[in-house]
Amino acid sequence: MMNNLTVFSLLITLVCLTACVPDEPPPPDVSAINAPLALVRFDRAMFNIDTTDVANELDRLERDYGEFAKLYLRHVAPIRRGDFGPEEQLEIAKAFLRHEPLRRLDSIVQKRFDDDAMEAQRRELQQALKYYHYYLPDAPLPDTLTAFLYEFGYAALIYGDTDLGVGLDFFLGPEFDYSQVNTQEAVFSQYLARTYRPEYMTRKLLQILIEDHLPRPRSGRLLDYIVYEGKKLFLLDRILPEVADEIIYEVTADQMDWLRDNEIPIYAHLQTEDQLYSTSTDLIRKLTQPAPTTQGMPAASPGRAVNYLGKRIVDAYVTANPNVTMTELMRLEDGQVILAGARFKPRG
């Protein structure tokens, strides 16, 4: 186990010399791609209903907002759950609409995301969806983005075939103190709450869209999961060509520099600790899922440092196999096949 960067860096001698990887290609021209995207403000519709006629107003929401209203009222904010009778549903709805913390949160959301702010978000997502369609022409394309609010229930979700929902309360930015929401919940820890900003909205929406389309590994090896995460990052990088790496990887600028400077030690650590082919679900979760830092690596490392390595392996695979399409790449599930085909040599 390594305790500091000095010890960690000694592992450099255990791997091959680095190989240069060409710069990424310029973004393709997607101006001719049609990707209509409607914005629906369900958050406003929900919290502006006539509270003197709640039962009929809920019926109206389901008529006007269809599938999303049914999802919201039965699962996101379970007001109309099937095991509640009509009178119970009505009382729960009234209590929900009177809940003062939720009303205050709605006021903050409406100020932060006025019409202009949400239109900018819609356009950014629409442009990204054009790139998404360019690279994955057979993948279903969302045509609706529905904004909602439920006191930190969901940041992003998919409903219907592929339409997207966004929980605006998860994107209020540094002016909102997420640490005070619930100090016991990891979701409000600083390393996660740092990404609860408007500039991360499109990235988070696209991630759930990619995860819905991209098959998870059938094998239980860490390598397969690292490559799986690397493929997601690779696709995000292509469909968000103007977005900073810090947002793509959800790290700070210093952590991004650390990843770039420590590619060799990350790879060497996995090899010397004999982890690359481990099937431990606990290890896989700890190394590939969000965390303050990466287990077994210096405190300066961000969580999920191995996913950066996965992205670099995928970069090398595409460089070595320039004719592979994005669809073909996404369908390759065997991490060993991609690693071998990449002829990967970490850089440092």
Above 50 in pLDDT, residue 81? yes
**Cα–Cα dist 16/284, whole Å:** 25
Q: How confident is the model at residue 3 (pLDDT cuts 50, 70, 90)?
A: very low
User: How much of the chain, in percent, has pLDDT values that exceed 90?
Assistant: 83
**Cα–Cα dist 52/277, whole Å:** 61
Query: Which residues are CB-neighbours of 209 under 8 A, at least 6 positions away?
Result: 132, 142, 158, 162, 164
Angle between helices 305-320 and 263-272 (to 10 degrees): 100
**Cα–Cα dist 232/227, whole Å:** 9
Above 50 in pLDDT, residue 67? yes
Measure Cα distances from 39 to 116, 142, 143 in Å.
12, 11, 9
pLDDT digits (tens, 9 = 90+) for 132-165: 999 999 999 999 999 999 999 999 999 998 999 9
Q: How confident is the model at residue 329 (pLDDT cuts 50, 70, 90)?
A: very high
Query: Is the separation of the CB atoms in 108 and 172 below 8 Å?
Result: yes
Q: 324: which 2 tokens?
A: 């592979």
Report the candidate in 325, 333, 22, 35 with the shortest Cα–Cα distance to residue 206: 35
Q: 328: which 2 tokens?
A: 């073909």
pLDDT digits (tens, 9 = 90+) for 238-265: 999 999 999 999 999 999 999 999 999 9
Q: What is the pLDDT of residue 348?
A: 64
Query: How many CB atoms within 10 Å of residue 153?
Result: 15
Rounded to a whole number, what is the distance in angstroms from the first to the last CA of the chain?
21
Q: What is the pLDDT of residue 138?
A: 95
Give every strand in the sheet of 38-41, ordered side by side: 38-41, 144-148, 163-167, 156-159
| pTM confidence score | 0.91
Query: How many CB atoms within 10 Å of residue 244?
Result: 11
Q: 27: which 2 tokens?
A: 């973004």
**Cα–Cα dist 257/255, whole Å:** 5
Buried b (16+ CB within 10 A) or exposed e, 68-102: bbebbbeebbebbeeebeeeebbebbeebbeeeeb
Q: 195: which 2 tokens?
A: 């990404």
Above 50 in pLDDT, residue 6? no
Over residues 73-87, the mean pLDDT reads: 90
**Cα–Cα dist 217/197, whole Å:** 30
State whether residue 106 is helix, strand or coil. Answer: helix
